Amino acid sequence: MPMFHKSKQDQVKWQGLFPTFLRLPLIYSLMLLMAFTLYMPSLEGLFRTIFPHLNRVIYQQTSFLNLLLSHVTLVLSSAIISSLIGVILGIIVTRKIAIKFKAIVETVAAIGQTFPPVAVLAIAAPLTGFGTTPAIIALVVYGLLPIIQSTITGLSQVPVGVTDSAKGIGMTGGQYFIYVELPLALPVILSGIRTSTIINVGTTAIASSVGVSTLGSPIFIGLSGFNNAYVLQGAIIVGLLAITIDQAFEMLQRKVIAQR
Amino acid sequence: MKALNPVLLLIFCTTILVQKFFPILGVAPNRMMQPIGLYYSDLYEYHALIVNVALQFVLLLSFFFHLNKTRLLLILLIFSLLLSDLVFICADFAEKNASTNRIRFSLSCGFWILVFLWFLMVIETLQQLTYLLWQKISLGMIIYLPIILLFFSNKVDHLSLVQEFHANEDVFRQAFVEHFTIVGLTLFFTLPIAIALGALCHSAHNFGRYCMQILGLIQTLPSIALFGLLLEPLSLLSNIFPFLSYIGIKGIGIAPAVIALVLYSLLPVVRSVLTGLNLIPQQTIDAALGLGMTQFQLLFQIKIPLALPIILSGIRIMVVQAIGLAMIAALIGAGGFGAIMFRGLANSALDLTLLGVIPVIILAMAVDMLFRLLETASLHDKPTIIIANR
Amino acid sequence: MIEFKHVNKSYGDQTIIHDLSLSIESGKITVVIGLSGSGKSTLLKMINRLEPFNSGSIFFRNQDILTYKPEDLRRRMGYAIQSNGLFPHWNVAKNIATVPRLLGWDKEIIDRRVDELLIMLNLDPVYYRKRMPHQLSGGQQQRVGVARAMAAKPEILLMDEPFGALDPITRKNMQTELRRIHQHDGKTILLITHDIDEALYLADHIVLIDKGTILQQGSPLKVLTEPTNAFVREFFGQKSRGLKILSRLPIQAILRPENSAATSVTIEHTATLADALSSFIAERTSVLAVSNQYGENIGHIKLNDIFSFNNHSIDPHAYVS
């Protein structure tokens, strides 16, 4: 259904001035992120002036690039796993055979989100040992909840008229699902995945406290060593990472909505 | 024979599996060594076990039948019995086998999983019993009353968790005060700013758009990043203006925590104020103005009462979020239950970690339920604004 | 009571109201009718200052409305709208009592007034006082809306398509109610509608507006019998104009006081000539007996009289009901 003719007309006016991709904030946040990640050591002079009392000003134990990669790997892998499980669970629970489970699953997802994500991390660590394992478990488990919630909401919101007309045309259940339900639910599901992933970025940073090497490591080391420069560096990069990922999702969501 | 209650049946079967395969109580000769797991059947004496199993069997059967209100209430009673019995048995076992030296009885994962699963079943049963939130909450509290009483008695004193609590009681109390202060201060500063901002965004659309974008940006920042970003500016500030340091605004401690928390808390509340005000139909406002209300009267007599349920839900989300974020604030020296949790984490002491985590969870859930009750109460019989109930 | 003097309103480069001058008399029902977008709602909203205007002036009781404080002005005017705009969180009594409470009336006086209004609108006070708006049907909600508009005994009642959202039967009932209230109170009413039949039924003075200007105004019969241009004629329906004219004439015009044995079908004395014509045709008769409100026979009418009535040089204004 073409719904955005007008805005495309407006865009034509602007396209002469900027190529499309350059107008997105995603490009700028990505550039800032990579700039800080790769060239942080070159800012040593700047940090020395801000923190004249510190001996070591730039976090040197691991390169920021490695930290970034490790962080991103964790976030991405947990996001993929929890998205798959969450969406599938959400789909199952909105089907007729399992509809009785919907209420309790929704309730668990709602209650679970009142827990602070740190708590899940803290409980997982002693059980499975320290390292990446508890982090991934906590990230997946906690990340499931918003995704399940949004999948259920998205799939339950198909307007009645659409359902009736689809049945009237003679669609089978499967076709109805693929061509009607899923596309209509996609924006909501996507926003749930977005929320979950952004939270995960923060939780992964905290996972440094259980021995995982992430962008939170400079922050933690800085905090325990009273080195605010480290803290600042870690905070800047992880903040930029979160913004970049958020912008990427924003772009994705716009594309999905425009295609309807 | 089709199960009329597949949910309860499924959860129940899981509990049976847990009882069989997961240890309930861990016994360790001292702090250092790994605990040996004791299973459900190990804890009970013979006849008690028979009764317990019989009760559970009755439960199992009931899930195949239609459950009216009386039967549901009976089931809830059985849950309460089973749950309190479990706690009692663990406490009793610990008490009986405690000796003078440092045998530690710790509640194992089986215990917690069982508690969680029974909790789920209670919720599901309550859901089938009634629609009214206050009824659900009251019944829930009645069910958990025996356990709470048990915890306040001396019976449980031999469980390692409780021992840890008693050993750290003053720390615990201080953490409670600190946590409460952080969340309280956040609420105190957020509410007026957020409500004013929300009203402003509602009347000025362009400002509203930019405002929401900025707040959304803040929200995407990881909490620890925001804490970290505030540390240096605040400590610089307190160096330049020493009196700030005197009143407590330093680089570390409560100040950066509260500031960051306020920034995080703005979005949910502003968004809910905006939504609540936007949902009021224009005709209602026209009618009010046309009858002769001033803007002031319109705001207080019409707009706020009609928007209140949604605003309350925004505040609910905000407070629960703040309670959770305050745990992380412990890292920058603000104290609170997070401090206990991180200390437990650092020392690999699960009990200490739990001591930090459990109060926060209970607090978050209690606040959540309280606000949901307030929302239902403020609904004023208004069918146009529907809030999903738990 | 209300005077528009060369009022203009534009929004951007669109003129909504163009050089409009209008006089609204006290004690009469004035109906402003027009197509959607003709500016009729805007006209009403300019009176109670819900809509601003660019130039010209509007006078309320010979005083420029801009010199009043908006709230004071509005509290002297009743305002009822199509979607009734009842406050969903207040019960019926509190809704009706809105303006009296704003004016600071005593509680007992307010309570009495609320009951009085509910009775006037055929709603049992005991039952309806405590009801919440969402528990009422559309017709009941609209009645409460009208009651609320009248609560503080305003000098004029402004009604913006008040019956538009109702089903035809309820709408007819409400129109009859409004006429009855007007006859009882003598209140000045300004009513906006797009329903021609409603306008013709209710109006003492009808104003036809299109694209922000007044095309014609006058009594309904005058507008029907002497349209100033083709648009007006078209608007009131070329083909059914005759019937509409008949609907404004009472059967008193052709009533013969003697009883006639030629018929057993009766028609009520409150019927119009249009009703009579309809009955003549439906009952396949040329004579109808007329009964009064007690059911007694007071005379009869004949079909031929309608045609001879039309042929005579009639003065339509003599029979304005």
Helical ranges in chain C per DSSP H:
40-47, 70-75, 92-96, 98-103, 107-120, 125-128, 138-150, 168-185, 196-202, 220-225, 230-235, 241-247, 273-283, 303-311
List chain B residues with CB under 8 Å of A103. 7, 124, 127
List chain A residues with CB under 8 Å of B364. 114-116
pLDDT at C192 (0 to 100): 92
Distance CA C145, CA C160 (A): 11
Residues of chain B with CATH 1.10.3720.10: 169-378
Residue written as token pair 């977005």: A194
Q: Which of B123, B344, B365 sits opposite A104 (nearest CB)?
A: B123
Element (H, E) at C259: none
The CATH H-level (homologous superfamily) assignment of domain B169-378 is MetI-like (1.10.3720.10)
Q: Rounded to the nearest 5°, which phi and psi values hold at C287?
A: -135, 140
Q: Chains that contact A by 3+ CB pairs under 8 Å? A: B
Tell me which chain B residue has its CA closest to the CA of residue C74: B292
Nearest chain C CA: its distance from B384 CA (Å): 8
Test B224 with A238 for CB contact under 8 angstroms.
yes
Residue written as token pair 């906590």: A138
Of C46, C125, C134, nearest in space to B284 by CA: C134
Residue B190 reports pLDDT greater than 80: yes
Q: What domains can be seen in chain A, in order of their start residue?
A: 63-258 (1.10.3720.10)
Residues of chain C with CATH 3.40.50.300: 2-237
Structure tokens given for B2: 């089709």
Nearest chain B CA: its distance from C50 CA (Å): 7
Q: CATH: 3.90.25.10, 3.10.129.10, 3.40.50.300, 3.40.50.1010. Which one for C2-237?
A: 3.40.50.300
Q: Which of C82, C83, C99 sits opposite B291 (nearest CB)?
A: C99
Mean pLDDT across chain C = 84
Residue B245 reports pLDDT greater than 70: no
Residue written as token pair 């005579």: C312
Nearest chain B CA: its distance from C319 CA (Å): 37
Residues of chain C with CATH 3.90.1280.20: 249-319
pLDDT digit string, tens, across residues C204-223: 899 988 888 888 888 888 88
List chain B residues with CB under 8 Å of C85. 281, 283-284, 286-288
Residue C88 reports pLDDT greater than 80: yes
Residue A227 reports pLDDT greater than 50: yes
- Judging contact as 3 or more Cβ pairs under 8 Å, the answer for C and A is no
Helix B282-291 to helix C138-150 angle (10° resolution) is 30
Residues A215/A59, Cβ–Cβ less than 8 Å: no
Task: Please report the residues numbered 109 through 128 in chain A whose beta carbons come closer than 8 angstroms to any beta carbon of chain B.
Answer: 110-111, 114-119, 122-123, 125-127
Residue B318 reports pLDDT greater than 90: yes
pLDDT at B3 (0 to 100): 64
Test A107 with B354 for CB contact under 8 angstroms.
no
Q: Is C149 on the interface with B (CB under 8 A)?
A: yes
Please give the residue that has the higher pLDDT: either A197 or C242.
A197
List chain B residues with CB under 8 Å of C81. 283, 286-287, 290
Percentage above 70 pLDDT, chain A: 90
Residue written as token pair 């950066």: B256
Model-level ipTM above the cut of 0.90: no
Structure tokens given for C257: 């006081």
pLDDT at A146 (0 to 100): 92
List chain B residues with CB under 8 Å of A101. 6-7, 10
Q: What's the angle, vertex CA B150, arms to CA B146 and CA B154, rounded to 5?
A: 160
Tell me which chain A residue has its CA closest to the CA of residue B214: A243
Q: Is A206 on the interface with B (CB under 8 A)?
A: yes
Element (H, E) at B13: helix B6-21
Mean pLDDT across chain B = 82
Nearest chain C CA: its distance from B199 CA (Å): 20
List chain B residues with CB under 8 Å of C73. 292
Tell me which chain A residue has its CA closest to the CA of residue B119: A108
pLDDT at A24 (0 to 100): 64
Q: Which of C87, C134, C158 sits opposite B284 (nearest CB)?
A: C87
Test C85 with B288 for CB contact under 8 angstroms.
yes
Residue B384 reports pLDDT greater than 70: no
List chain B residues with CB under 8 Å of A126. 345, 348, 350, 353
Lowest mean pLDDT segment, chosen from A144-148, B193-197, B236-240, C308-312:
C308-312
Distance CA B249, CA B243 (A): 9
List chain B residues with CB under 8 Å of C70. 292
Percentage above 70 pLDDT, chain C: 95
Q: Chains that contact B by 3+ CB pairs under 8 Å? A: A, C
Q: What's the angle, vertex CA B302, arms to CA B280 and CA B313, rounded to 5?
A: 60
Tell me which chain A residue has its CA closest to the CA of residue B217: A243
Nearest chain B CA: its distance from C245 CA (Å): 36
Distance CA A32, CA A25 (A): 11
Q: Which of B283, B302, B383 sits opposite C83 (nearest CB)?
A: B283
SS3 B323: helix
Q: Is A138 on the interface with B (CB under 8 A)?
A: no
Task: Please report the residues numbered 191 through 210 in chain B whose beta carbons come closer than 8 angstroms to any beta carbon of chain A.
Answer: none
Beta bridge partners of B160: none
Identity of the amino acid at A182: L
**Domain spanning C249-319, CATH class:** alpha beta
pLDDT band at C238 (very low <50, low <70, confident <90, very high): low
Torsion over CA of C69, C72, C78 and C83, rounded to 10 degrees? 60
